[in-house]
Homo-oligomer: A and B are copies of this chain.
Amino acid sequence: QEIKAPSFGKGILNIVGQDSTWTMKASARLQFLGIGQWGENEDGNLASVGSNFLVRRARLKFSGFAYSPKFKYKVELGLSNRDLSGGSEFTHDAPRYILDAYVMWNFYENFELWIGQTKLPGNIERIVSSANMQMVDRSLLNSRFTIDRDMGMQLRHKFNVSENFIVKEALAISQGEGRNVSKGNLGGYQYTARIDFLPFGNFTGNTEFVGADLKREKKPKLMIGAAYDFNNNAVKTRSNQGDYMYTDTGFYETDIKTLFVNAMFKYNGFSFMGEYAGRNAGDAIAKNNDGTVTGDIVQVGNGLNLMSGYVFKNNWELSGRYTFVDLDKDITGRNKELQYTLGVSKYIVGHKLKVQTDATYLSEVDGPEGLICRLQLEVHF
């Protein structure tokens, strides 16, 4: 009594409701990660500072349409401890089980209205799914600047400038304190706009947000985009991420603006992904009502991330990454940070079954250096 299913990597079940009234694709993935970390010891030499073995991600995904093909949905659940973490009084002291839960309503021509919780149209490194990354994990730029997921609405649209030249736009309004916040909106709302230009047409299989050129594009494909995020009266140190800025009477509120400019290029196995991020705030130094500082600081500054790789015909890939994060030292007191990462990936079944390793050298200007080595296995049904 067997159930027939798609081939490996194409989902667990592809369900079609009677009279095609709905569909559901169920899939799942597991990511195993080993980490070794070295830091500078008292003598200035690198010494082991820790290691970790993780079920880094274990996720369930459901997507399809409900009642009408114009009314789609997606749900993604995180089961691993790192995905579940981050609960607080603002999430009803409950784990953050739901990553994505939203509907997409194609109400008119090329327009889609998204309702629910999902990634904001922010930085490209975040939009690339953690299943589709070129290296073991994202860069320091993403850690410092991403606006990740939030709850609210998005308006999506696309159009052709010429036969090949495609423009995609997204507008989002969200609560502005990140995912799974269930205790109400604090401060003002968050507004995000993103525009992407694809001058040479869509990437093969719409892979503009997928790491590595596994499709070996026959013609050069390029996406250039920018996103601007305005978090009105934000109450957290990294827009909708980071720490809540408590004051003696409530929350410190300031407008936080984040800009991302980025590009993805792929051709014949070669890929390049670049991203600039900048953040500023109305007044980055959190203060109590009486003007005394609370100690919280909005993480303002700039960052640059450049990443490139080449996939050999045997599906081994060599990739390199340069990341530079320069938070405003006068305000944040933080030194410039540099990250150099070298990655090797073996894509056994594309991003669905792969082994990836990378080594990252960290260097802090006027600070210590460090080394991180990681090895990861991804199994994606």
Which residues of A pack against B, CB within 8 Å? 1-8, 10, 12-19, 21-22, 24, 28, 30, 32, 35, 50-55, 58, 62, 66-67, 73, 75, 77, 79-82, 84-87, 91-98, 101-103, 115-117, 151-152, 174-175, 180, 182-185, 348-349, 353, 377, 379, 381
Interfacial chain B residues near A117, Cβ < 8 Å: 55
Interfacial chain B residues near A152, Cβ < 8 Å: 53
A116 contacts B379, C-beta separation under 8 Å: no
Interfacial chain B residues near A116, Cβ < 8 Å: 30, 32, 55
- Chain copies in the assembled complex: 3
**Interchain residue pairs A-B with the least CB separation, the first 10:** A85-B92, A84-B94, A8-B21, A7-B18, A81-B182, A52-B184, A8-B22, A81-B94, A85-B94, A3-B15
Q: How far is the CB of A108 from chain B (nearest CB, A)?
A: 17
Contact status of A51 and B180, CB under 8 A, knowing A79-B97, A98-B58, A115-B32: no
Interfacial chain B residues near A182, Cβ < 8 Å: 52, 54, 80-82, 85
Q: How far is the CB of A98 from chain B (nearest CB, A)?
A: 6
Q: How far is the CB of A270 from chain B (nearest CB, A)?
A: 27
Q: Which chain B residue lies CB-closest to A85? A: B92
Q: Which chain B residue lies CB-closest to A7? A: B18
CA distance A84 to B182 in the complex (A): 11
Interfacial chain B residues near A12, Cβ < 8 Å: 15, 24
A95 contacts B98, C-beta separation under 8 Å: no
Interfacial chain B residues near A18, Cβ < 8 Å: 1, 4-7, 10
- A-B contacts besides A5-B17, A8-B67, A58-B98, 16 pairs, CB < 8 Å: A2-B14, A2-B15, A3-B3, A4-B18, A32-B102, A52-B183, A54-B151, A55-B101, A55-B117, A66-B353, A67-B349, A79-B98, A81-B91, A81-B92, A84-B95, A115-B377
